[in-house]
Amino acid sequence: MPTLKPRVNVTLEPQTYEVIDRLAALQGRSRGAVIADLLDSIAPVMGKTVSLLEAAASAPQQVKDGLRSVVEGIHDDLVGAAGDPMGQMDALLEQLSGGSAEGSTPVSVTRGSGTDTTPTPKPKKTNKKGSKPGVSGA
């Protein structure tokens, strides 16, 4: 059916085409519909990025340097908050496909990083012979 929407031809890497093809088949949709939805979902972020880049292109070098520093800081914060989502997806896929080691226990991830951030309790001080006077044992 003809459309009034603009069209774009895209050449994909074979592995990208394969993933989109598989996703389209699973969803019962066309490859074009999958790609259009993916692009539509990131369009707001792309729009803000374009506006930021346009503003940065006309800014003095000092402002550009400051902006780069702020963006790098935000990136680091986001990576710290999100952890390693690709690694987590790989682990989930491995478990779903039965590729995990037999008898292994899944690791609980509560903060998104996949690393244990539970503080280790410090050993209690004891009043041993030769310790300073006035220091009581716990």
Q: What's the pLDDT tens digit per position in 93-115?
A: 888 887 654 445 555 555 555 55
Q: For the chain, how many structural domains are there in total?
A: 2
- 14-29 as b/e, with b when 16 or more CB fall inside 10 Å? eeeeeebeeebeeeee
Which residues are CB-contacts of 17 (< 8 A; sequence separation ≥ 6)?
A: 31
Range of the domain at 86: 60-95
Task: Fill in the DSSP letter of residue 121.
Answer: P
What pLDDT digit, counting tens, does each position of 31-72 carry? 999 999 999 999 999 999 888 888 878 878 888 788 788 888
* In the chain, % of residues over pLDDT 70: 70
pTM for the model stands at: 0.48
Q: Is the pLDDT assigned to residue 12 strictly greater than 60?
A: yes
Question: Are 54 and 73 members of one domain?
Answer: no
Question: Are 41 and 68 members of one domain?
Answer: no
What average pLDDT does this structure show over 119-133? Answer: 59
**CA–CA distance, 100 with 96 (Å, rounded to integer):** 9
Question: Are 53 and 10 members of one domain?
Answer: yes
Residue 38 is assigned to a structural domain of this protein: yes
Question: Are 41 and 82 members of one domain?
Answer: no
